[in-house]
Structures are given as C-alpha cells and as structure tokens.
C-alpha cells in the first residue's frame, strides 16, 4: 500500500507515469518528438475521435509533457521532455540493481568454472 505524500514532485512523477502508461499518449509524444503539431494534425494520425485525442492531450498537458499555445484558431502542441527525467531516475535504481546482479553472476561463474555445463 502506498502512502500519500504532500510533495509536488511525487505527484508530478505519478502524473508522468499515468500519462505514459497509455499507448496512444506514447504515440502522441513520439509524434511531437519530431516537432510541433496542431491538435488537428495529431488527431489525423489516429483512428480515434478528435475529442478522444483532446482528452489524451489534456492528460499529457497536466503531466507537463506537452505545452500548448494558441495560434489563431489552431492549438499548437509541443513536447516538453523534461518531466520524463522522473522515469529515467526511477529506472536508474533498477539498472543499478541489474548491473550489480550481473556482476555477481559473472564473479560466481568465474570462481566456479567446474559447475559450468
């Protein structure tokens, strides 16, 4: 069971993880990696409805992963990858764990060559 935290950082990290948990939102982020796009351009890449894409974009904006601005009647969306550092930080702990586990396995195999098959 998780305990509630009052800090804004864990809340934002949770928002980022929730945002990237959805494959459509990950695809939207992939599109925006190549540059700014209007909501219409983004919606045109998917078979889902434009209101559904707008809801996905709202989740991405609330997580800080997308920045949107108005340009006349169009809404231009742009990727803000900075919040993804939270994912990298979280994965870093697991990368360190696996590096150490592999180091121990290597040491074991080298110290016990007769047990190899």
Distance separating alpha carbons of residues 91 and 61, to the nearest angstrom? 23
13 backbone dihedrals φ, ψ, rounded to 5°: -60, -45
pTM comes to 0.75
| Bridge partners, residue 12, by sequence | none
pLDDT in tens, 92-113: 888 888 888 888 888 888 888 8
Q: What residues contact 69, with CB distance under 8 A and at least 6 apart?
A: 75, 76, 78
**What's the structural domain count of the chain?**
1
pLDDT of residue 117: 56
For residue 38, the SS3 value is: strand
Tens digits of per-residue pLDDT, 59-90? 999 999 999 999 999 999 999 999 999 888 88
CA atoms of 3 and 114, how far apart (whole Å):
48
pLDDT for 114 beyond 90:
no
The pLDDT, as a whole number, for residue 8 is: 56
Domain that holds residue 58: 8-115
Which strands sit side by side in the sheet containing 66-71, from one edge to the other?
Answer: 37-38, 74-79, 66-71
Assess if residue 48 is contained within a domain.
yes
Task: Judge whether 60 lies within some domain.
Answer: yes
Is 90 part of any domain? yes
Q: What is the pLDDT of residue 113?
A: 80
Q: What is the CATH number of the domain that holds 47?
A: 1.10.10.10
């Amino acid at each position: 069971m998780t305990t509630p935290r009052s800090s804004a950082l864990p809340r934002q990290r949770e928002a980022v993880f929730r945002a990237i948990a959805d494959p459509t939102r990950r695809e939207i982020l992939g599109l925006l990696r190549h540059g700014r796009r209007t909501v219409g351009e983004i919606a045109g890449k998917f078979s889902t409805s434009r209101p559904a894409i707008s809801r996905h974009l709202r989740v991405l904006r609330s997580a800080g992963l997308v920045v949107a601005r108005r340009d006349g009647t169009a809404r231009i969306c742009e990727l803000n990858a900075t919040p993804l550092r939270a994912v990298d930080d979280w994965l870093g702990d697991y990368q360190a764990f696996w590096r150490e586990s592999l180091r121990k396995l290597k040491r074991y195999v080298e110290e016990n060559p007769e047990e190899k098959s």
